[in-house]
Amino acid sequence: MKLIHDRLNQFGNPPDLGLDKRAQAQVSVFFTRPFLALHYATQIYTARVVLALALELGWESRLRKGATLEELIHDFSPQSRTVAEWMLPFLSDESLLHREGDHYFLTGEPLLDLAEIRAFAEAEAPGHGPNFDLLDAVLRQVKPFFTEGKSGEQLLFDLTIFPLWLAFFRNENLNYYPNNLLTLIALREGLPTGARVMELGGGVGSFAQLLARDGAEAGYLDRIAEYRFTDIAPTFLRKAQRDLRDKAPGLPFTFGALDINKSFEIKNLGEGLFDVIVGINVLHVAVDLQEVLRRLRALLKPGGRLVIGECMKPDLAHPIYNEFFFKFVKSFTEVDLDPELRPCSGFLTPEVWEKALLASGFKNIRQVPDIRAVMQLCPTFYVGAMTAEA
C-alpha cells in the first residue's frame, strides 16, 4: 500500500488537455485523489485475484520450481491457454511472479490480502465495493472454465453476477465513468441540429443518461431529433425500453435490436442515414472489424461521425488489468486478426484504432483528448474516445 500512497503524493494539478472549458472542468475528476486511488487499488486487487486463481488451480508447487505456460496448462481444458497466456505476463508485470525467459517463478509469501485493498479503496473512494465484488465473483466462479471447459459466458454472466454488472456500468462508478464522459465530449462537439444519433451496445443505458443530463445542462439536447438505442441483448433492450424515458428525460428514443456482427439494413433502422453513430466498448467485439466499420460508415450521412469510446492499451504486448474478465468471453477473444489492422483480440492501442478506421474509409480521425498524453499522466488509466468522419 505504501507504493500507492507514494504515487498519490507525487500527483499535481490537472494538466491542460486542449479541451474546451466545460470539458476541461469535467475531466478534472480524472486527476483527483479518489479517482487515482481507486484505479491503483483496482489494478492491485485484480493482480491479487489473478494470483489467488493461479493458486486455486493448483499451480503453486510448479511455480515454486519454475514452470512454463505449457507445463501449467497441460492437464486443463484447451481454452485455458488464452487466459493463462494473459495471466502469467500480467502477474510478472505486477511483480507477483518472477519471469526468466519462458519460466515463471513464485518466490516468498504470495501477496493475497484483498481486505487491505478494499479498506484503502473505501477510505479513498467510498462506494465502489461492487467493483471488487465483481472481481471476487470471477475468482469464485471461474475455476470450471479451466477444469471442465465450461464457457466464460455461462460462468460470468449468470443471475448471481448480473446485479454486479448493473452496478458496474454506472456513471457514479469512477472506474467506468471515464468511458462515458470522454465519449460524450467527443459526441457533443459539432452535433448538428436535427441530429439522428444511434447508439450501439447501449447496455444498461448509462451513456444515454449522461447525455440527457449533460445535454439539458449545456442546452444542446434539443439538437437531437432521434436517439436510436440498440443492443444485441434482449434483456438490456427491454430494460432500456422500460426505464430510459424516465432516467434519460428529453432524449427522443427509438429502440431496436442490433448485432454489430450481423449485416444490418438501413430500411430496418428508421428514417434514413445517421449523423452520429456512437458505441462504447462494443466495437472490439466485431468479429471482422473492417467489415463492421465499413457497414457503419455506410449508415452515416456524408460528414456524419462514428464516435467510439474504448479501453485503450498502451502497448499490445502487455496485459492490462481491465482485460481480466473479458479473457474468458469468446466474443472478446474469437475475432478475425490482421497483422496491421487487428493484430490481437480485445482492446487495442490508439494507433491501431486509427489505422483500422482509416483503412475502412473513415477520415479526419481525432482522439478526444490526446490518448497518449492522458496515459502518460495517469499510468493506470486506459480509456480514450475517437471520432471519425464518414
Ligand X SMILES: C[S@@+](CC[C@H](N)C(=O)[O-])C[C@H]1O[C@@H](n2cnc3c(N)ncnc32)[C@H](O)[C@@H]1O
Site residues for ligand X per CB under 6 A: 169, 200-207, 231-233, 236, 258-261, 280-282, 285, 331
Shortest separation between residue 230's beta carbon and ligand X, angstroms: 7
- The answer to whether 376 and 325 have CB atoms below 8 angstroms apart is no
Whether the upstream peptide bond of residue 350 has omega within 30° of 0, thus cis, is no
Shortest separation between residue 174's beta carbon and ligand X, angstroms: 14
For the chain, what percentages of helix, strand and coil (3-state, to nearest 5) are there? 50, 15, 35
Which residue number, 35 or 169, has a Cβ lying nearer to ligand X? 169
Q: What is the amino acid identity at position 296?
A: L
Q: At a CB cut-off of 8 Å and minimum separation 6, what does 381 contact?
A: 30, 39, 178, 374, 375
Which residue number, 202 or 384, has a Cβ lying nearer to ligand X? 202
Q: Which residue is nearest to ligand X (CB)?
A: 201
Which residue number, 91 or 280, has a Cβ lying nearer to ligand X? 280
DSSP 107: -
Cα separation of 387 and 390, whole Å?
10
Shortest separation between residue 281's beta carbon and ligand X, angstroms: 4
Cα separation of 163 and 151, whole Å?
20
Which residue number, 252 or 256, has a Cβ lying nearer to ligand X? 256
Shortest separation between residue 121's beta carbon and ligand X, angstroms: 22
Following DSSP, what letter does each residue of 235-251 receive, concatenated?
HHHHHHHHHHHHHSTT-
Cα separation of 291 and 261, whole Å?
9
Which residue number, 201 or 369, has a Cβ lying nearer to ligand X? 201
Which residue number, 205 or 346, has a Cβ lying nearer to ligand X? 205
Closest CA to 248 of 211, 301, 288, 197: 211
Residue 311, SS3 per DSSP: strand
Going from the C-alpha of 169 to that of each of 49, 110, 164, 335, the distances in angstroms are 21, 32, 9, 24
- The answer to whether 39 and 4 have CB atoms below 8 angstroms apart is no
Which residue number, 66 or 201, has a Cβ lying nearer to ligand X? 201
Shortest separation between residue 262's beta carbon and ligand X, angstroms: 8
Q: What is the amino acid identity at position 269?
A: L
Shortest separation between residue 329's beta carbon and ligand X, angstroms: 9
Which residue number, 200 or 251, has a Cβ lying nearer to ligand X? 200
Cα separation of 53 and 160, whole Å?
20
Shortest separation between residue 28's beta carbon and ligand X, angstroms: 22
| Look-up of cell digits 442546452 | 219
Cα separation of 285 and 333, whole Å?
8
Shortest separation between residue 297's beta carbon and ligand X, angstroms: 17
Shortest separation between residue 238's beta carbon and ligand X, angstroms: 12
Phi, psi of 136 (to 5 degrees): -60, -40
Which residue number, 45 or 177, has a Cβ lying nearer to ligand X? 177
